Amino acid sequence: MKRTQIVQQEIIDKEKINSQEHYLPNFIKPNKNYFSDFEILLQRNTSPVMQIQTMEDLLKRDEQREKDGFPKKIRMDKIAKPGKNGKVVIIPNVFEEKFYHGQPQNEDGMGGSGEGEEGDVIGEKPLDQHGEEGESGEGGDGEGSEHELESSTYELGKILTEKFELPHLKDKGTKPSLTKFKYDLTDINSRTGQFLDKKRTLRKIIETNLGLKKINPKGKIDPNKLIVDPKDKIYRVLSREVEYESQALVFFLRDYSGSMQGKPTDVIVNQHLMIYAWLTYQYQKNVKTRFIVHDTDAKEVENFHKYYTISTAGGTKVSSAFKLVNKIVEEENLARDYNIYVFHGTDGDDWDQTGKETIKEVGNMLAYSNRIGITIAQNTGGTKLGDTFVEQYFKKSGLLEQEKDHLRLYSMMADTANEEEIIKGLKQIISE
């Protein structure tokens, strides 16, 4: 190799290991903003190295962003994403600005500029979206983690309590947290125990004899020739298990009639999820939930996914929901063991405009419940049309004044309800 080539190669090698950046003369240095604005929000600094932060850290940065004159990026008004396995995933929503050249178009009709050939599937949408389950949410197919769910719900309750100044419960009711012990054959032991586990023992014997080459995997097994080591015998052992009983029981009720589809349901269910998170934090995760939906008739549904997505085209009879809760509490004797909370969501419509039956059932409920909270998400197209039927008969009954420590009502317009409005209503119905 010539001397000049050797020198050039040495220069190239030095350039490769040099940490400095080199640009052509008069070449504009590229902007090193590798990430979107949201990803920068997730970082403690503008380094391209991403860092994991808690939700509390993100909210602090978002608060500082607002103080600096910029709009908030994290919103809590779309936090409910139900899974079909009955678990609740909490997803704080992040808003990104959109910039358009000319008039904005309908997003469904806009073409993309990414990779792909003609005929490639770029998305799927059901042809028929009708049916019993509405459009308010879609369920995931994954199994998820109960521990992560419980932890995230608890953390959200802590954030809601501290950052949004929700009240701490001074009196959590008269029912103490219960702890029970039960005895079950859950532990296992070799050689000795109360109950021989035949499947585990047989598996262990086969494992031992395979190691001793007493079993031909391709041939027939002669049990008489198997060697049984005393250590191969696996027994179940009786052990004491601790069971913690929930201290609080919360009933979530909502109108699922035709007029509730869309934004009213989103507002109610998201607020109910916040209430659940708040109670989970207040009661240190010892909270049970029951879900009731109603039109003219009420029924209990098995999980949050069903509660969020189910809809119907029927009318509305509010009393049916409160009547069903009273029946469940009485038949299962729940008032003896639990601090009971009841939260109802509706658009304020009711076929019984006098509310005679509803007031009667709520009056019975006040005898055993810690708090009854009613949220009205009016479906009026953003225009306040005055008090709804539900507001009218509750105000007329005098219960809101007589039982103000146990019964609260808050009304908002569903179409214009944002995070601040939902939190404001939340404070109203749960405050001491």
What residue spans of 310-377 are helical by DSSP H? 319-331, 356-365
Q: Residue 5 — very low, low, confident or very high, per pLDDT cuts 50/70/90?
A: low
Phi-psi region of 388 (alpha: psi -120 to 50; beta: other; left: phi over 0): beta
Same domain for 240 and 253, yes or no, is no
Higher pLDDT pick, 138 / 420 = 420
Q: What is the pLDDT of residues 336-360, one digit of tens each?
A: 888 899 999 999 999 999 999 999 9
Same domain for 365 and 286, yes or no, is yes
Same domain for 313 and 350, yes or no, is yes
Same domain for 323 and 416, yes or no, is yes
Return the top range by mean pLDDT from 11-15, 67-71, 224-228, 249-253: 249-253
The enclosing H or E element of 412 equals strand 407-413
Last residue of a domain, one of 244, 270, 290: 244
Same domain for 252 and 207, yes or no, is no
Residue 97: CB atoms within 10 Å: 7
What is the Cα–Cα distance from 131 to 407, expressed in whole angstroms? 35
Q: Is the pTM of this model over 0.85?
A: no
Same domain for 225 and 365, yes or no, is no
In a domain, 156, yes or no: no
Residue-wise DSSP of 228-288: --GGG-EEEEEEEEEEEPPSEEEEEEEE-SGGGTTHHHHHHHHHHHHHHHHHHHHTTT-EE
Same domain for 270 and 232, yes or no, is no
Q: What is the pLDDT of residues 233-243, one digit of tens each?
A: 999 888 877 66
Same domain for 252 and 286, yes or no, is yes
**Domain span holding position 413:** 247-430
Query: Tokens 């607002």 identify what position?
Result: 66
Strand partners of residue 237: 187
Same domain for 283 and 297, yes or no, is yes
Question: For the chain, how many structural domains are there in total?
Answer: 3
pLDDT(328) > 80: yes
